[in-house]
Structure 1
Amino acid sequence: MTVDNPVSRSAPYQLNNVTVPTPSAQVETLTPSAAANLASFHAYLRSSKRILALVGAGLSASSGLPTFRGTGGLWRNHDAMELATPEAFSNDPSLVWQFYSARREAALRAIPNKAHYALAELARRMPEFLTLTQNVDGLSTRANHPPNQLLHLHGSLFSLKCTSFYCDFQQENNFTHPLTPELAIASEMSALYAHIPQSGLPHCPKCRTGLLRPGVVWFGEALPWRVVKTADDFISAGKVDLILVIGTSGTVYPAAGYVDRIRMQGGKVAVFNIDVDDNESEDSFWEADSSDSYANRTKWTFEGDAAEWVPLALEPLTGPVEVQETGNGERSSLF
């Protein structure tokens, strides 16, 4: 399979500039307590001026990508976590590159879901909105999320950098697949593992000697300083009214650190996840006196598929999100 940058093939957005969107029909299927919870969140969302989204693997679950530590934790009987280290790359770059080539293809076969598009649209409509993603799958980029409002905390499968100490080459959004003809074998899951010599692995086009490596953060490596600083500066620039914790636990780091900082500012939290920890649930799930009341709330939880909950939750600011497949297999959004 050869993929020429799918970002450039994405169909353009068609916006209808609706200022008072018609509520989604999905609201009618909610239980009374869930509907009241959503109404309370919508009331606070409309009053929010600065929002941070922290997203994890659960955002892409509906796109067909398994979580790194979940059922996709093995690749050809190799522990994926053991392959995601600088030491593994140094010892056997052929094995590590085949693993990441297979991951790149899986991500390219996946398509952004409604939650990716809803976050991208919110970024276009709200200048003081920032998404901090822990995902490396490139789906937010392919949903046309404005790049200046999207930070990749763990890097990206589609970023490349030279491993030579004397070379500073880096490249973002390289969606070519496979990167070399020899790496095509990584997509053949039934094939026996075959060692690829270094001459058949991606090399730096700048220095022409160093091997390229995936631009992801491996275990034992520091998070990218620019990304961390940009997120810190955003939080420090003024009160963040709301943090959206999507597809990741809000009780473990780094999510917990951002949640704690925003709560200390007086901001509120909304958690969207398949499995919501008991500690993440709000004791007062909904206000008996008024479904629009949020004064006594500090957190909202939405348990279930983020691809369904996030567009519904953001609808007052984005309008309804409908995703349609284009002829080339990509998806476009209609608002």
Structure 2
Amino acid sequence: MAPRTSIAEFRELVNSSDRIMALLGAGLSAASGLPTFRGAGGLWRNHESTSLATPEAFEADPALVSLFYAWRKHMALKAKPNAGHYALAELAKRKDNFLCLSQNVDGLSSQAGHPESKLRLLHGSILDVTCFNKCGYVEYNNLSDPPCPALAPASEDYPPDQTMPLLDPNMPAPKIELEDLLHCPNCKTGLLRPGVVWFGEALDETMLDDIDDWIMLGRIDLMLVVGTTAAIAPAASYIYDAQQQGAVVAVVNPDPDSADGLGSSDFFFQGSAAEILPQLFVGVIGVMDGDVCQILVSITKFTTPPNVFSLPI
């Protein structure tokens, strides 16, 4: 049978739930103007985005990878949290036993005021920098944009009708000398890299142990899956672990295929998390007004039947 789509039933579940876990993906930040990591064909200057997110890529061409991440950091710093970020932050403040696992590195959940004690950044933060030589140097919440003068082309802004030269594969990439990139102030030899988890790297073991301990504390009433297909480990395993602890799964995603695998006791809400989440949590967080997230949440705003919530893709 198909998963449930009733707002009223879901609100009752949220209101009565004690332990709630959420798994967040890039779809949450899409409404803030941030492209998904694999969006737009997954290309950046004709490079597969995923091919630039490895230690091997950085070692082979640190200038190119640094430009890519300087551009992503610039985009993240320009972006603002959307209503979905604020709704989750408010839910976390009102639910003592709430744990949010985010695969996003953009820093928008923290900017929205999500309590840090209830937020785990699985893949790190693009605002952090660390030493590629692993000497132990880490700098948190570095807001430099560009990170250094050599990477200034990644922080240029152009009108919407103009293509940024850096993003045009037909334009030569800026020539950057190795010595002009940021070097570690601690060991003096290693290059600085973004504090994100690249493909082939292990997630923080202490954080993973902390998450596992939280899961095993007892029954989980609700597992929220927002803006992610949960295709990369350990994301998928956390959904399974929550189900083993009794959780009802609720998926919020514009892709109808994201409902695959959900049971009749689960929920699926198709559409943008920025529009859906504030409505789903009204019973706990109240109505969010324009001063908080630039939208006014009102059920009467929509023409869908009162028990069914579905937004166009």
TM-score between the two structures when normalised by the length of structure 1: 0.78
Distance in structure 1 (CA, Å) of the matches to 2:63 and 2:276 = 40
Q: Which of 216, 226, 246 lines up with 1:266 in the alignment?
A: 246
Q: Is the 8 A contact 2:145 2:155 kept in 1?
A: no
| Match of residue 260, structure 2, among 268, 276, 279 | 279
Alignment deviations for residues 250-292 of structure 1 (CA, whole Å, 9 cap, x no partner): 5764333112212122221111001132524554xxxxxxxxx
* Cα distance, 1:323 vs structure 2: 4.2
Aligned partner of 1:90 in structure 2 is 59
Distance 2:221 2:271 in 1: 24
Percentage of matched positions with identical amino acids: 49
Q: For residue 273 of structure 2, what is the aligned residue in structure 1? A: 306
Partners of 2:56 and 2:32 lie apart in 1 by: 31
Does the 8 Å contact 2:249/2:262 carry over to 1?
no
Task: Give the aligned CA root-mean-square deviation in angstroms.
Answer: 2.2
- Residue 124 (1) aligns with residue 93 (2): yes
**Counterpart pick for 1:163 among 122, 126, 132:** 132
Deviations 1:132-183 (A, max 9, x none): 0011111111112111111111111111111224x21112221221111111
1:35-184 correspondence runs (5 A): 37-71=6-40, 73-165=42-134, 167-184=135-152
Alignment of 1:227-306 (within 5 A): 227-249=207-229, 253-277=233-257, 278-283=259-264, 298-306=265-273
Q: 1:252 to 1:177 in 2, by over 3 A?
A: closer
**Number of residue equivalences:** 281
Per the alignment, do residues 72 and 107 of structure 1 end up closer, same or farther by CA in structure 2, a change over 3 Å counting?
farther
**Residues of 2 paired with 1:299 and 1:213: CA distance?**
41
Counterpart code for 1:318: I
Shift of 1:72: 6.2
SS in 1 for 2:208: helix
Residue 226 of structure 1 deviates from its aligned partner by: 2.3
Report the TM-score, using the length of structure 2 for normalisation: 0.83
Aligned partner of 1:226 among 206, 210, 228? 206
Q: Is the 8 A contact 2:123 2:203 kept in 1?
A: yes
**Matches of 1:102 and 1:72 in 2, distance apart?**
17
Contact 1:120–1:145 (CA under 8 A) maintained in structure 2: yes
Structure 1 residues 251 and 193: alpha-carbon distance in aligned structure 2, compared to 1, 3 A threshold: closer
Structure 2: segments with no counterpart, 5+ residues = 157-163, 167-171, 298-313
CA distance in 2, matches of 1:314, 1:172: 31
Determine the structure 2 residue equivalent to 1:207. Answer: 187
Partners of 1:334 and 1:128 lie apart in 2 by: 28
Could you tell me which amino acid in structure 2 is paired with residue 310 of structure 1? L
Aligned partners of 1:226 and 1:173: how far apart in 2? 20
- The separation in 2 between residues aligned to 1:232 and 1:76, in whole angstroms, is 39
* TM-aligned CA deviation for residue 214 of structure 1: 0.7
Structure 1 residue 249, shift from structure 2 partner: 2.1
Contact 1:104–1:137, Cα closer than 8 Å, also in 2: yes
- Give the structure 2 partner of residue 15 of structure 1: none
Distance 1:323 1:198, change over 3 A: farther
Determine helix, strand or coil for the equivalent of 2:40.
Answer: coil
Find the residue that maps to 2:278 and give its secondary structure: helix
**Gapped runs of 5+ residues in structure 1?**
1-32, 284-297, 326-330
- Tell whether the 8 Å contact from 1:114 to 1:322 is kept in structure 2 after alignment: no
Task: Tell me the alpha carbon deviations over residues 191-228 of structure 1, each in whole angstroms, 9 at most, x when there is no partner.
Answer: 53122122221222333332111111111111221222
Task: Report the AA paired with residue 206 of structure 2.
Answer: R
